[in-house]
Amino acid sequence: MKLKLKWALLTMVFTIVTVLTGCEPLLVLDPKGPQAEAQANDIMLSIFLMSGIVIVVLAILVFVLIKYRASKQSEDYEPPHIEGSPIVEAICIGIPIIIVIFLSIVSVRSNYIVESTPQGYEDQEPLIIYASSSNWKWHFSYPEQGIETVNYLYIPANRAIEFKLYSHGPITSFWIPQLGGQKYAMSDMVTTLHLAADVEGEFMGRNANFSGSGFAENVFDVTSMSNADFEDWVEEVHETAPALTEEKFEELLEPGHLGRSTYTGTHLEFSPAPSHDHGDNAEESEHEHHESTDKDEKSDHENHGQTNETEESDHSQH
C-alpha cells in the first residue's frame, strides 16, 4: 500500500512538472523596458514576501497543532490559567503593520517611477503617439511623422515614447505587458502613459478593460526597431499609403474588427483629441494660465497708468 502511494505521488509530481514546462513565461515577468522592469521587480518582491509569510504561518500552525493537540486527561483536569503575553501580541500586531508600511513605500515609489519619463531617457525628446480606441480597434496617430496606423504600432527602440490615450467609445485600457502597465483611455479626456523599449522585437498589446462583445479580439501588434528602420518605415508610408480622409475615418469607427491598415495624415486634423489632458501637460497648462493671467494684469496696470496720465494732461490744460 505504501509503495502504491509513493508511486502515485511521484507520478503526480512528474505530471505537474511536465505540464508546467510547456507553459509560456508570464509576459509581465519578461520585461523589455524600464517601466515594465520596475513593475516586474515589485511583483517578485511581493511574491517572495507573501511566500515567506505563508511559510512562517504554516510552520507555526504545524507547531501549535502538534504541541497543543488533544490528549487523554482525567475528567477533573483543569488547565492552568495563562495570562496574555504582551510580546506575542506586539509581534502579532507589529509585524503586519511593518509589512503594510513597507509595501506602501514600495508601491508609492514605483508609481512615481512608472508615471514619469523612463529612467535613462530623461535627456531625449520623447516620440509622441496618440493611441485612441474604438469598437473594437486601436488607432495610432503620429502627429510629428504625419502617419496613422490601425491595429499595429511601430516604435523605435531605446527612445522614450509618450502615449496620449483616449477613446472614441467606451472606456478601454491600453496595455503592452512587456513594456509597462495598463492605463485607461476615456472619451472625454486624454491620459498620458510613458513607455520605452530597451530592445528590438515584437510584443503583444491589447485592451485590458471589458468593452463589449468584441473585447476579446481588441488587440494590436507592437514592433520595436532601430531608429534607422523606423525612419525608413516613415518614408515608405509617405510614398505608398493613401491619405486618411474624414469619410474613411468615420468608416473605421464603425463597430467591428479590422486588420492592419496604414494612412498618411492623422484624424487629429479634423477630429482632434479631447482638450482636457490628464497628465504631464496639466502643470504646463496651469503654468500657461498663470502666465496669461499675469500678462492680463500687467496690461490692465499699463492701461490704468495711461488713463491716469490722460487725466493729468486734461487737468493741466484746464
| Burial state string for 18-54 with b = 16 or more CB within 10 A and e = fewer than 16 | eeeeeeeeebeeebbbbbbbbbbebeeeeeeeeeeee
Residue 271 in any domain: the answer is: yes
pLDDT band at 101 (very low <50, low <70, confident <90, very high): very high
pLDDT band at 21 (very low <50, low <70, confident <90, very high): low
pLDDT value, residue 318:
38
Cell digits of residue 119: 529612467
Number of domain units in the chain? 1
Q: What is the mean pLDDT of residues 86-108?
A: 92
Residue 228 sits in a domain whose CATH number is 2.60.40.420
- What is residue 194's DSSP assignment? E
Q: What is the mean pLDDT of residues 135-143?
A: 96
Residue 194 in any domain: the answer is: yes
**What tens digit of pLDDT does each residue of 27-44 get?**
888 999 999 999 999 999
Residue 78 in any domain: the answer is: no
pLDDT band at 25 (very low <50, low <70, confident <90, very high): low
Question: How far separated are the first and last CA of the chain, in Å rounded?
Answer: 125
Can the peptide bond before residue 136 be classed as cis, meaning omega within 30 degrees of 0? yes
Question: Is pLDDT at 66 greater than 80 in this prediction?
Answer: yes
pLDDT band at 146 (very low <50, low <70, confident <90, very high): very high
Question: Is pLDDT at 296 greater than 70 in this prediction?
Answer: no
Residue 259 in any domain: the answer is: yes
Q: What is the mean pLDDT of residues 62-81?
A: 84
Q: What is the mean pLDDT of residues 201-226?
A: 93
Question: Is pLDDT at 287 greater than 50 in this prediction?
Answer: no
pLDDT band at 293 (very low <50, low <70, confident <90, very high): very low
Whether this model's pTM surpasses 0.85? no
Q: Please provide the average confidence, as pLDDT, over all residues in the chain.
A: 85
Residue 121 in any domain: the answer is: no
Residue 229 in any domain: the answer is: yes
DSSP secondary structure letters along 248-288? HHHHHTSSS----EEEES-GGGTSPPPS-EESTHHHHHHHH
Residue 30 in any domain: the answer is: no
CA atoms within 13 A on the CB side of 75: 0
**What tens digit of pLDDT does each residue of 170-181 get?**
999 999 999 999
**What tens digit of pLDDT does each residue of 214-269 get?**
888 899 999 999 999 999 999 999 999 999 999 999 999 999 998 999 999 999 99
Residue 81 in any domain: the answer is: no
Q: Give the residue numbers spanning the domain of 134.
A: 127-278
DSSP secondary structure letters along 297-317? HHHHHHHHHHHHHHHHHHHHH
